[in-house]
Structure 1
Amino acid sequence: MTDFETAARRATAQMRQVFDATPLQRNDYLSDKFDANIWLKREDLSPVRSYKIRGAFNAMRKQRALNPDQRNFVCASAGNHAQGFAYMCKSFEVRGEIFMPITTPQQKIDKTRAFGGENVKIRLTGDYFDQTLAAAQAHCAETGAHFLAPFDDVDVIEGQASVAVEILDGLEHAPDLVVLPVGGGGLSAGVTKFMSLTAPSTAFRYAEPAGGASLAAALASGAPTTLPHVDNFVDGAAVARIGNHTFAELSGVKPDHVLSAPEDRICTTIIELLNVEGIVLEPAGALVLDVMDELRPLVKGKTVVCVTSGGNFDFERLPEVKERAMRYAGRKKYLILRMPQRPGALREFLDLLGPNDDIARFEYLKKSARNFGTVLIGIETEDAATFDDLFEKMEIAGFEHRDITNDPVLSEFLI
């Protein structure tokens, strides 16, 4: 057994003093859907509803063993890492300072404080995470506190490898395939390294958000690369630059084994799992399930483990998720409509709609000419194909329009 295997198993055993193993559950719905033996490693059911508690536990445990007098820890995070860090500060009875951006939702602040209690202090600083991170690291330099990184740390990677230990202990044989989410790379690096050593026949596929494809960028350039822009919707995995330590473990991944998940499509997956299975997943937690359709030929007849990495979903986001899911499915569109300014014009337009079409938004933007006005209209329907028929009718009737559903500039300002 290698040193890494031994260390990962030791870390896993130590974790049992603090929290139980997360469930490894066969999912009948997904197994039937993909004609495979699909298991979910439910990291969304950890005490903090994400796997981040593992890396925080191991890094804090090892630092305390190395320096028993170290009782001051610091992290920078607005999400799952902050909650895992807070939980472990309370468990180890150490002091923790958590730096969060000023823009962090109050719900996340309150939840983090609840996990840490009197053992943590939350500091809100910086409009952007880079500013928050810089403030946290500067604080460590001034005070001698230990900075606990969210993913780019060998002890964190070792702690996340406990997911692989539990997968292998929970199955009668090694899985044929493991599908892993990628953000900064801590989880994927730890699981890949452990299982490559202990179950070399197991294959891997990796899922990352289209708006934060840091692993794909690093593989393309041969080194960690900072993305020029990141879509923060998948906040648990929207990382601009994969870690140096994590990429060292993932640099051998084949580029075509990394799958990109569009943010709007992820919303359809969240809604599907919520409605069909009653499973609440955050966007990052749904990543691996979102790419399964692309893996359908590969997984048929195989034993597959999908790691659902987190379930910290704020239900205030549900309207946005439903909206994006409908837009991705083509069942909701936003149009700029040139409406004639004459009696009966609106009625003529409404008569073009089918029985299952619904106007979700109607707003006059301006009177663009003496005889015409500009209208923003949102239409929902049960079948995306309905729009082809509607647009044809509108053209024949002389209702000029522009579809702005997928126009990022106009959508941002008007929708």
Structure 2
Amino acid sequence: MADFLADVAQAEAALRDLFPATPLQLNEHLSARYGAEIWLKREDLTPVRSYKLRGAFNAMRKALAAGSTRHFVCASAGNHAQGVAFACRHFGAKGTIFMPVTTPKQKIDKTRIFGGDSIEIVLTGDYFDQTLAAAQKFAADRGAAFLSPFDSADVIEGQATVAREMVEQLPGAPDLVVLPVGGGGLAAGVTRYLSTAGAPTRFFFAEPLGGASLKGALAAGEQVTLPGVDSFVDGAAVARIGDLPFAHLRGFSPDQVLTAPEDRLSITILEMLNVEGIVLEPAGALAVDVLRDLGAAGELSGRRVVCICSGGNFDFERLPEVKERAQRYAGLKKYFILRLPQRPGALRDFLEMLGPNDDIARFEYLKKSARNFGSVLIGIETSDPANLTALMARLDTSGFTYQDITSDELLAQFLI
């Protein structure tokens, strides 16, 4: 076990050739809210704006030291690709990075900037599983080293450098550490390091509600593959936690895994941006978001808590979607299908029911469902959730026929 601490120390020392330790910042806003010391480990401030560089760099460093191939392959549409690209340029190694055809141009361009002439980007597959299969076959055919984003002992060791830095930066051991979980490499590395070092620290884990693979595996006592995941938290939406990470994490209780609803997570992203000026991607905000649940359960008061902000690669073209999700979760925006009578004055009658703070954000005739009625998609946003509750009561009293589709994911996907 001591060997692991020594190996992590070596990995951290090597990382200093790339970047200084990421800041560990006491957040006054969150500390006041929860009556605790809330510290943020700012992994969004690495050169590639996520912790993924640590694991990719360490795996590549050890492979090169062992005299293996200087050609590395990975499959990723995001942070892992950028970490591998940066490490390839640092070492002067060759990298082939497979990305889905559907990857946004912004992510492709950033990966290319980080890797420069050291990398080649291959766009293949409409879905990540197809991209992954192509990358693994290519690596096997060319005798290249395939770099997993999380299912690798050397990657886990590299991610554990987050914990070593944390211990060096804190005035004392943390009472709680809250870790975001996707494939599990970061959670496995940090928990193993602190446990091996004998730190009296409790752990909680944060997963997206639509991708809670660790919680499912711990509840089942074995690996499970989710039938589907919500891709909003693209940095942590993993259907199956990695085998090696699960081997390190299987001793934890499913009660220690908290799930963050994707729409609530949007509120946290906007709050951190508007109040703190901190740009976090959805996966990077997971640990901060579940503080709500920990606070409600009485787990935070008077304690020293570290949240890992795992990444800040947020595409601001997503900001309208994030705002939309946040408003819907907060009850400040609703969508209805309204059956509007096709008679003069019907629309005016409806508009007169709106309150002074109710705004129409969407109004669209869908089709004429009958000769005397028309179906209308209407979106209304307001300043207080009670306003929409009152509006629906007035609609019921007046006899308007409507359906609230705000939480209907299938209809929302096609109509909103």
TM superposition score normalised by structure 2: 0.98
| Kept after mapping to 2: 8 A contact 1:332/1:379 | yes
Q: What is the aligned partner in structure 1 of residue 36 from structure 2?
A: 36
In the alignment, the residues of structure 1 paired with residue 247 and residue 177 of structure 2 have an alpha-carbon distance, to the nearest angstrom, of 19
In the alignment, the residues of structure 2 paired with residue 287 and residue 329 of structure 1 have an alpha-carbon distance, to the nearest angstrom, of 18
In the alignment, the residues of structure 2 paired with residue 125 and residue 371 of structure 1 have an alpha-carbon distance, to the nearest angstrom, of 51
Q: What is the aligned partner in structure 2 of residue 203 from structure 1?
A: 202
Give the drift of 1:301. Answer: 0.5
SS at structure 2 position matched to 1:298: coil
| Kept after mapping to 2: 8 A contact 1:212/1:240 | yes
In the alignment, the residues of structure 2 paired with residue 168 and residue 199 of structure 1 have an alpha-carbon distance, to the nearest angstrom, of 12
| Kept after mapping to 1: 8 A contact 2:173/2:199 | no
SS at structure 2 position matched to 1:239: coil
Give the drift of 1:70. Answer: 1.8
Alignment of 1:153-302 (within 5 A): 153-296=152-295, 297-302=298-303
SS at structure 2 position matched to 1:179: strand
In the alignment, the residues of structure 2 paired with residue 237 and residue 190 of structure 1 have an alpha-carbon distance, to the nearest angstrom, of 16
Q: What is the aligned partner in structure 1 of residue 149 from structure 2?
A: 150
| Kept after mapping to 1: 8 A contact 2:15/2:54 | yes
Q: What is the aligned partner in structure 1 of residue 16 from structure 2?
A: 16
Code of the residue aligned with 1:17 in structure 2: it is D
Give the drift of 1:216. Answer: 0.8
Alignment of 1:333-412 (within 5 A): 333-412=334-413
Give the drift of 1:199. Answer: 3.6
In the alignment, the residues of structure 1 paired with residue 69 and residue 367 of structure 2 have an alpha-carbon distance, to the nearest angstrom, of 64
Give the drift of 1:121. Answer: 0.3
In the alignment, the residues of structure 2 paired with residue 264 and residue 59 of structure 1 have an alpha-carbon distance, to the nearest angstrom, of 35
Deviation by residue 1:44-65 (Cα, 9 ceiling, x = unmatched): 0110000000001100000001
| Kept after mapping to 2: 8 A contact 1:227/1:240 | yes
More divergent stretch after superposition (142-151 vs 217-226): 217-226
Code of the residue aligned with 1:163 in structure 2: it is V
SS at structure 1 position matched to 2:112: helix
Q: What is the aligned partner in structure 2 of residue 94 from structure 1?
A: 93
Q: What is the aligned partner in structure 2 of residue 111 from structure 1?
A: 110
More divergent stretch after superposition (2-11 vs 308-317): 2-11
| Kept after mapping to 1: 8 A contact 2:218/2:250 | yes
More divergent stretch after superposition (106-115 vs 195-204): 195-204
In the alignment, the residues of structure 2 paired with residue 410 and residue 255 of structure 1 have an alpha-carbon distance, to the nearest angstrom, of 32
In the alignment, the residues of structure 2 paired with residue 414 and residue 281 of structure 1 have an alpha-carbon distance, to the nearest angstrom, of 28
Alignment of 1:42-121 (within 5 A): 42-67=42-67, 70-121=69-120
Give the drift of 1:344. Answer: 1.0
In the alignment, the residues of structure 1 paired with residue 46 and residue 149 of structure 2 have an alpha-carbon distance, to the nearest angstrom, of 17
Deviation by residue 1:323-353 (Cα, 9 ceiling, x = unmatched): 0000011110000001111111111111110
In the alignment, the residues of structure 1 paired with residue 281 and residue 18 of structure 2 have an alpha-carbon distance, to the nearest angstrom, of 24
In the alignment, the residues of structure 2 paired with residue 373 and residue 151 of structure 1 have an alpha-carbon distance, to the nearest angstrom, of 53
SS at structure 2 position matched to 1:285: helix
SS at structure 2 position matched to 1:286: helix
Deviation by residue 1:92-129 (Cα, 9 ceiling, x = unmatched): 00000000011100000000000000000000011111
Code of the residue aligned with 2:177 in structure 1: it is V
| Kept after mapping to 2: 8 A contact 1:174/1:199 | no
In the alignment, the residues of structure 2 paired with residue 388 and residue 52 of structure 1 have an alpha-carbon distance, to the nearest angstrom, of 44
| Kept after mapping to 2: 8 A contact 1:55/1:160 | yes
Q: Percent identity of the aligned residues?
A: 66
* Alignment RMSD: 0.8
Q: What is the aligned partner in structure 2 of residue 4 from structure 1?
A: 4
In the alignment, the residues of structure 2 paired with residue 274 and residue 238 of structure 1 have an alpha-carbon distance, to the nearest angstrom, of 22
Runs of 4+ more than 3 Å apart = none
SS at structure 1 position matched to 2:149: coil
Give the drift of 1:200. Answer: 3.3
Code of the residue aligned with 1:60 in structure 2: it is M
Give the drift of 1:376. Answer: 0.4
Deviation by residue 1:198-233 (Cα, 9 ceiling, x = unmatched): 143110000000111110111122222111101111
In the alignment, the residues of structure 2 paired with residue 207 and residue 101 of structure 1 have an alpha-carbon distance, to the nearest angstrom, of 26
Unmatched segments (≥5 aa) in structure 2:
none
| Kept after mapping to 2: 8 A contact 1:90/1:119 | yes
Give the drift of 1:254. Answer: 0.9
SS at structure 2 position matched to 1:289: helix
Give the drift of 1:413. Answer: 1.6
More divergent stretch after superposition (396-405 vs 154-163): 396-405
Unmatched segments (≥5 aa) in structure 1:
none
In the alignment, the residues of structure 1 paired with residue 154 and residue 368 of structure 2 have an alpha-carbon distance, to the nearest angstrom, of 62
SS at structure 1 position matched to 2:207: strand
Give the drift of 1:369. Answer: 1.8
SS at structure 2 position matched to 1:41: strand
In the alignment, the residues of structure 1 paired with residue 397 and residue 244 of structure 2 have an alpha-carbon distance, to the nearest angstrom, of 60
In the alignment, the residues of structure 2 paired with residue 172 and residue 331 of structure 1 have an alpha-carbon distance, to the nearest angstrom, of 42
Deviation by residue 1:263-315 (Cα, 9 ceiling, x = unmatched): 11100100111111011000000000110011111110110000000000000
* Cα distance change, pair 39–199 in 1 and its aligned pair in 2 (3 A): farther
Report how many aligned residue pairs link the two structures. Answer: 414
